[in-house]
Amino acid sequence: MTLGNAHLTPNAEVPADPAAGSAGVADPVLEIRGLCVDYGLGDEAVHPVVDCDLVLRRGHVLGLAGESGSGKSTLAMATIRLLRWPGVITAGEVLFHSKPASGERRTVDVLSAGEEELRSLRWSEISVVPQSALNSLNPVATTRAQFDDLLRVHRRNLSAAERVDRAVELLEMVGLTADRLRSYPHELSGGQRQRVMIAMALALDPQVMILDEPTTALDVVTQREILEELMSLRDRLGFAALFITHDLSLLIELADEIAVMYAGRIVERAPAVSLFRAPRMPYTHGLLHCFPPMHGERAAMEGIPGSPPDLRALPHGCAFHPRCPWAMERCRSETPTLVSLAESGRTAACWLHAGDVSVPQDLDLPDPLQPAPGAMGAAAPRFRRSSR
Amino acid sequence: MRLLIRRLGFYLVAAWAAITFSFLIPRVVPGNPVATAIIRAETSGQCNSACVHAIELQLGFNVHTTLWTQYAQYWGNLSHGNLGFSWSENAPVGGLIVSYLPWTIGLLVVATVIAFAVGTLIGVLMAWRRGSWVEWVMPAAAFFQAIPYFFLALVIVLIFGQTGTMLKWLPSLFGYDIYTVTPGPNWSYIASILQHAILPGVTVVLASMGGFILTMRNNMLTTMDEDFVLVARAKGLPTRRVVTYAARNALLPVVSNFTLALSLVVSGQILVEIVFNYPGIGYHLYQALSELDYSLVQGIFVVITLVVLAANLLADVVYVLIDPRARQAG
C-alpha cells in the first residue's frame, strides 16, 4: 500500500531544521557502527543484520526501507537491545549522544550499558512504536493504567493527579479526547490505538523515536492523518525518528535521509530526494519502479523478479545478484561493501560503482542535490520509466 | 452482564435436564436393577417395610401412578431438599450429603487451589527463566500429570502411610483418628483432621499441579512474544512489572482450566478418596454403589451436577472480572 500517490513529491524543500547547526548539518543523536545480529548460535545461526552503519541526526527522519525479512526491524530493535530470543548482537557499536533540554551532553554506549542504565534510557530517551501497534497495548489494561505505569516508573515526582493530567495532555496532542483514558485497547479503533501508542511514545519527551512500520495495518486515509500528525509533532517537539517501512514511496515524503536494506545489509544510503530521483543501486531502482505515478505518461509496471533471499542460504557474492538485471561475474563471487560515491552524502554497495565498469544509464541519473556540470539550474529529470 | 445472564439461563436448562435424567434413569433402565436393589435392602435386615416403600417411591418401582405425577412429586420433594432415604446409612440422603461435602471441599478444593497457585507460579518462572534449572521441573510435572491419581495415591500410601509398609510417617486412613479422637470443636480433633489431610492432599497437589505448570508455561511463552510485552520492556519498566504484564494475560485461559478442575474435584477425585477411605462424597458414592443404595447414588449425582454447573458459572463470572474483552461480548 502506498501512501498518497497524488502527493508523491520528494521532500526536497526540507523544512527549516530547528536543530541544525550553523554548518547546516545537525549533529548525530544516534550512531550505529558495524552492527551485526545473529539469530541462534554457532553454525546454525542466520545473520539478519550484517555490518550496518547508520547515523540519525538530531531532529531528522531517517528512513529504513526494505522487503520483509531484510532485517530492518531486527536492526532497529538491536539498537535498544530489545531483540527477541534467540537474537544476539555479535559485533558493532551503538552510540547515543544525549543532549537533554537541560543538563549536560553525554554519550552512552548502548550495547555495553548496564541493565539499570538501559532501563533509564529506554523510552525516556529512545521510545519505540513497534510493528503492528495494534497489539502493542496491553489488552487487559486501560489506556490510563498504561500511561500510569510509564509515568510512575520514569517520573517519580508526579502525583497521581498530575499523571492523569499529563496523559490527557498527550492524548489531546495526538487528537484524542480525555475519555479515551477509560478505554481498553479493544474498545479503540486501529487508528486510535496507534494514536495512543504515539502519545505514549511521546510521554517522556524522548530524543529519538523508533517507528517500526507504524501505519502498516491502517487504511490509507488514517495512514495519512497519522503521518501528518506525527510530522507536525516532530516539527514541534524536535525528536529524531528512525522510520522503518517496506513502503519506499512513503519515506520519500517524510524522510530526510533513506537507507535501503537488503538481506541484512544496507545497500544504499542517500538524502531522500537524491535516492528518489537518482537511485544508484539496482535494488533501489527496482523498489522505485514498484509503484505507479499518478501523473505523467502510462508506463509498464516493473517489479523485481524473483523473491527475497532465504537468510539461511544466501547467494555468494552480492546477495542481490540473482535478481539483478545488471549482475556481472564479479557480483557472483565478491560481496560489495558500502562505499562513498562521488556525490557527497551518498553511499552504495554495488560493484557497478566501483569505477572499473561503465554505469548503466538508469543508475547514473544526475543527483538533484548536486550541481550538475553544464546543466546548472535545469530541473531534475523526470522520474524515468525504463522501457526494458 | 448480558453474557452472564445468558450463561445463567443455559446452566438452568442444564440443571433441569440433569435432574430430569436422574429421575428417569431408575424408571427406564432395562433389566430392572431397582428390583435387585430393593431385594438387597429387604434382605439386609436394615430396612423395614416403610423404608422399602420409601425407596420404591423414590425410584418409581411398584408405584401405580403416572410418570407425570411421579415427576411432579419428585420436584416437590427436591424443592424441600428431600432427596430420598438411604437405607444403608439409615438417614435422609440430603443430610448425608451435607455431612460429606465439607470433607471433599475442605480437602480437595484446598489442594486444587494450592496446586493451581503453585503450579501457575512455577509455570511463569519456567517461561521467564527459560533454560535455567527450573526447566527440570517440567519432566517431573509431566510424569505426575501422566500417572493416574489412584496409582500415585497407592504409591504414596505404600511409602509414607501408616497402613503402608515402609516409612509409616503419616496416617493414611479416614478423615481423622476415629478410634481416639471425639469429633467436636477441640484441638485434638482439628489436629487430627489436618494430619490425615496431608497424604491425600499431597496426592492431589502432585497429580494436578503438572497440568497447571505446563499450560501456564506454554501460554506464558506465547504471550511473551506478543508486542505489548516487548513494549513493556521498551518502556523501561522493571522486570517484575514486565512479567506481570505477560502473566496477567497468560493467566486468562488457565483460569478457566482451574474452574473446570474445581468442578472435577467433587466427581473426579473419587479414587483418591477411596484409596484413603476419606469420608468425602466420592468415597460414599463408591460405598452406596457397592451396597446398591440407589437413593443415595441418585442424590449424590444431582448434587455433583449442581456443583459442576456452579463451578462453571463461577468460571464465567471470574472470566468476566479478569478479562475486559469478555465484559462487553454478547
Task: With cut-offs at 50, 70 and 90, classify the pLDDT of residue A126.
Answer: very high
Bridge-based pairing state of the strands A265-271 and A28-39: unpaired
Is residue B273 helix, strand or coil? helix
| Of A85, A136, A139, Cβ closest to residue B325 | A139
Interface mutation target, options A77, A117, A119, chain B, most CBs of B under 10 Å: A119
**CA distance linking residue A127 with residue A110, whole number of Å:** 14
Task: With cut-offs at 50, 70 and 90, classify the pLDDT of residue A18.
Answer: very low
**CA distance linking residue A134 with residue A129, whole number of Å:** 10
**CA distance linking residue B303 with residue A140, whole number of Å:** 36
Which grid coordinates are listed for A217?
Answer: 495495518
Which grid coordinates are listed for B185?
Answer: 470443636
pLDDT of residue A293: 65
Q: In this structure, are residues B203 and B153 in contact, taking their beta carbons and an 8 Å threshold?
A: yes
Does the ipTM surpass 0.90? no
Query: In chain A, how long is the greatest CA-to-CA distance?
Result: 68
Question: String of b and e for B51-65 (b: at least 16 CB within 10 Å)?
Answer: bbebbbbbbbbebee
Q: What is the mean pLDDT of chain B?
A: 83
**CA distance linking residue A58 with residue A264, whole number of Å:** 25
**Average pLDDT of the residues in B315-325:** 84
Task: Name every chain A residue with its beta carbon within 8 A of the beta carbon of B324.
Answer: 139-140, 142, 184, 186
Task: Name every chain B residue with its beta carbon within 8 A of the beta carbon of A124.
Answer: 236
Q: Distance (Å) from the C-alpha of residue A135 to the closest C-alpha of chain B?
A: 6
**CA distance linking residue A279 with residue A348, whole number of Å:** 9
pLDDT above 60: residue A277? yes
CA distances from A258 to A270, A354, B108, B231 (A): 6, 21, 64, 25
Pick the residue from chain A with its C-alpha nearest to B241: A149
pTM here? 0.78
Summarised one tens digit per residue, pLDDT across range B172-195 is 778 777 777 777 778 888 888 888
Summarised one tens digit per residue, pLDDT across range B197-242 is 888 888 888 888 888 888 899 899 899 888 899 899 899 888 888 9
Q: In this structure, are residues B296 and B96 in contact, taking their beta carbons and an 8 Å threshold?
A: yes
**Average pLDDT of the residues in B46-53:** 76
Among A65-74, A107-116, B185-194, the range scoring the smallest mean pLDDT is B185-194
Q: Distance (Å) from the C-alpha of residue A31 to the closest C-alpha of chain B?
A: 19
pLDDT above 80: residue A1? no
% of residues, chain B, pLDDT over 70:
98
CB contact under 8 A, B225 and A149: no
pLDDT of residue A133: 65
Closest C-alpha to B285, from B111, B109, B112, B101: B101
Q: Distance (Å) from the C-alpha of residue B231 to the closest C-alpha of chain A?
A: 6
| Of A124, A135, A184, Cβ closest to residue B226 | A135
CB contact under 8 A, A122 and B323: no
Interface mutation target, options B229, B235, B245, B248, chain A, most CBs of A under 10 Å: B235
Task: Name every chain B residue with its beta carbon within 8 A of the beta carbon of A136.
Answer: 227-228, 230-231
Strand partners, A126: A122, A208
pLDDT above 80: residue A258? yes
Among A27-36, A371-380, B294-303, the range scoring the smallest mean pLDDT is A371-380
pLDDT above 70: residue A153? yes
Task: Name every chain B residue with its beta carbon within 8 A of the beta carbon of A128.
Answer: 231, 234
Pick the residue from chain A with its C-alpha nearest to B234: A122
Region of residue B126 (phi > 0: left; psi between -120 and 50: alpha; otherwise: beta): alpha
Q: Side chain identity at B115, as an amino acid letter? A: A
Summarised one tens digit per residue, pLDDT across range B8-19 is 899 999 999 999
Summarised one tens digit per residue, pLDDT across range A297-341 is 666 666 788 888 888 888 889 999 999 888 999 999 999 988 888
CB contact under 8 A, B236 and A119: yes
C-alpha distance across the termini of chain B, in Å:
9
| Of A77, A120, A200, Cβ closest to residue B236 | A120
CB contact under 8 A, B236 and A130: no
Higher pLDDT, residue A191 or A102: A191
The three state secondary structure string of chain A is CCCCHHHCCCCCCCCCCCCCCCCCCCCEEEEEEEEEEEECCHHHCEEEEEEEEEEEECCCEEEEECCCCCCHHHHHHHHCCCCCCCEEEEEEEEEEEECCCCCCCEEEEHHHCCHHHHHHHECCCEEEECCCHHHCCCCCCCHHHHHHHHHHHHCCCCCHHHHHHHHHHHHHHCCCCHHHHHCCHHHCCHHHHHHHHHHHHHCCCCCEEEEECCCCCCCHHHHHHHHHHHHHHHHHHCCEEEEEECCHHHHHHHCCEEEEEECCEEEEEEEHHHHHHCCCCHHHHHHHCCCCCCCCCCCCCCCCCCCCCCCCCCCCCCCCHHHCCCCCHHHHHCCCCCEECCCCCCEECCHHHCCCCCCCHHHCCCCCCCCCCCCCCCCCCCCCCCCC
